[in-house]
Amino acid sequence: MNKKTLSKFCMKKRDATLSGLCFTKPWSMGDYSYATDGVILIRIPKLKSIPERNENSPVQQAAEEMFVKTPKTSIPILKFPIPELYNNPAVVWKINEVFFRGDMLWKLKNFCRNCYILPLKEKPGGGFSFKRTWIEFDGGDGFIMPVVM
């Protein structure tokens, strides 16, 4: 994945202005480069063309910490291929007992080669208050946030 493709997972400036979040460009930290549109968060091995994160950004720090604080399931991972679908936010898919918007899955299917959704076990003793699901694809991984129904 290159910088141009990674940037497709960033917020559009209009959405960032409305939400007040700073996800209009990818950023790097440590060994990875990250991108998120507030719904899908992905990381890939660090690209030299992507600058280090803003040290004063608690939002970027929190996004990065999700990878550390959210364990992948320790039982054998069942992988669900992403279904053929349309780029339509009105279409909702149920995968692994979680609902996802069609446009989120379309973006993953079209820009992340061999992408799979992995079941997530809730972290014992608490953790984040919302449920998210790991994704894996050739050259990276990340999270997709479920639709609130």
Pair 41, 90 in one domain: no
Q: What count of Cα atoms within 13 Å lies in the side-chain half-sphere of residue 104?
A: 25
Pair 64, 95 in one domain: no
Distance CA 127, CA 108 (A): 26
Pair 7, 58 in one domain: yes
Pair 60, 88 in one domain: no
Q: What is the pLDDT of residues 118-129, one digit of tens each?
A: 765 555 554 433
Answer whether residue 74 is part of any domain: no
69, 96, 125 - which closes a domain: 69
Predicted local confidence at residue 50, as pLDDT: 93
Number of domains in the chain: 2
Q: What is the pLDDT of residues 75-101, one digit of tens each?
A: 445 566 776 666 676 777 766 566 777
Pair 55, 7 in one domain: yes
Answer whether residue 75 is part of any domain: no
Pair 92, 57 in one domain: no
Predicted local confidence at residue 75, as pLDDT: 47
Predicted local confidence at residue 22, as pLDDT: 66
Q: How far apart are the first and last CA of the chain?
A: 32
Distance CA 42, CA 131 (A): 16
Is residue 148 scored above 50 in pLDDT?
no
Q: For residue 42, give its domain range.
A: 3-69
Q: What is the pLDDT of residues 20-57, one digit of tens each?
A: 556 788 999 889 999 988 788 899 999 999 998 877 77
Pair 60, 87 in one domain: no
Distance CA 97, CA 77 (A): 15
Q: What is the CA radius of gyration of the chain?
A: 15
Pair 87, 29 in one domain: no
Question: In a 3-state reduction of DSSP, which class is residue 138?
Answer: coil
Pair 61, 85 in one domain: no
Please give the structure tokens belonging to residue 36.
Answer: 């998120």
Distance CA 40, CA 145 (A): 6
CA distances from 86 to 102, 107, 109 (A): 6, 10, 10
Predicted local confidence at residue 102, as pLDDT: 75
> Residue range 127-139: average pLDDT?
68
Is the pTM higher than 0.85? The answer reads no
